């Protein structure tokens, strides 16, 4: 039997999380990118998704995406965006968070809520990264190459999107000529 429980955070609750994030950022100003990523990865390593409530396990998956986004050389996250993601990860780099992680079942509840807030703030970066990853996987399949050996980057992805847009434009133009009685009067189509 499963049961739905809804958590509503008031403005005051959200302010507490924002204050916690700012406090983490101020304490983590001495940490470099490598240390922040290692601490965030450690949070993932010390959890077993099968032992956690789904709400928490799902959010920890988002944390994995944030870490991968920063580390993915092919995606090449611009420095300003990387700074935003690293800023979001600082909360997980410090041991003293709102609910201590060693509290059974609920220890990661604050982490899950913070991940959800970060994921909402970084929604467009995450969507772009997910789209890039899907494209890269599809491209590896299309080329019948192993993903690890295929070094594709954001520029390759952008070029593929450009070519796709032009092909779509041409296809739609041709379809409109074939399906209708209209043909261009001002220029010639080859």
Identity of the highest mean pLDDT range in 34-43, 129-138, 178-187: 129-138
Q: What is the pTM of this model?
A: 0.77
- Mean per-residue pLDDT for 47-69? 84
pLDDT at 190 over 60: no
Listed in order, strand segments (DSSP E) in the chain are: none
Which pLDDT belongs to residue 105?
Answer: 61
- Side-chain half-sphere of 38: how many Cα atoms within 13 Å? 6
Which pLDDT belongs to residue 68?
Answer: 95
130-165 confidence digits (pLDDT tens)? 999 999 999 999 888 888 888 898 999 999 999 999
- Of how many residues is the chain composed? 190
- Mean per-residue pLDDT for 7-21? 84
Which pLDDT belongs to residue 46?
Answer: 80
Angle at the Cα of 38 (from 29 to 121), degrees rounded to 5? Answer: 65
- Mean per-residue pLDDT for 6-11? 81
85-105 confidence digits (pLDDT tens)? 998 888 877 766 666 666 666
Which comes out higher in pLDDT, residue 171 or 53?
171
Are 20 and 46 spatial neighbours (Cβ–Cβ below 8 Å)? no
CA distance 171 to 18: 49
Both tokens of 106, joined, read 């609920």
Give DSSP secondary structure letters for 109-128: HHHHHHHHHHHHHTHHHHHH
């Amino acid at each position: 039997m499963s049961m739905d429980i809804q958590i509503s955070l008031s403005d005051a609750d959200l302010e507490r999380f924002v204050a916690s994030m700012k406090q983490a950022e101020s304490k983590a100003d001495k940490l470099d990118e490598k240390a922040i990523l290692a601490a965030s990865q450690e949070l993932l390593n010390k959890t077993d998704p099968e032992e956690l409530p789904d709400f928490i396990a799902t959010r920890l998956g988002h944390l994995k995406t944030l870490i991968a986004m920063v580390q993915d050389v092919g995606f090449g996250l611009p420095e300003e965006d990387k700074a935003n993601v690293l800023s979001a990860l600082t909360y997980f780099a410090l041991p003293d968070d709102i609910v201590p992680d060693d509290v059974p079942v609920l220890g990661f509840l604050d982490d899950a809520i913070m991940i959800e807030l970060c994921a909402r703030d970084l929604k467009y970066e995450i969507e772009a990264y997910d789209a890039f990853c899907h494209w890269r996987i599809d491209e590896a399949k299309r080329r019948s190459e192993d993903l690890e050996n295929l070094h594709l980057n954001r520029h390759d992805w952008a070029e593929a999107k450009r070519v796709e847009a032009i092909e779509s434009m041409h296809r739609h133009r041709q379809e409109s000529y074939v399906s209708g009685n209209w043909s261009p009067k001002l220029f010639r189509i080859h």
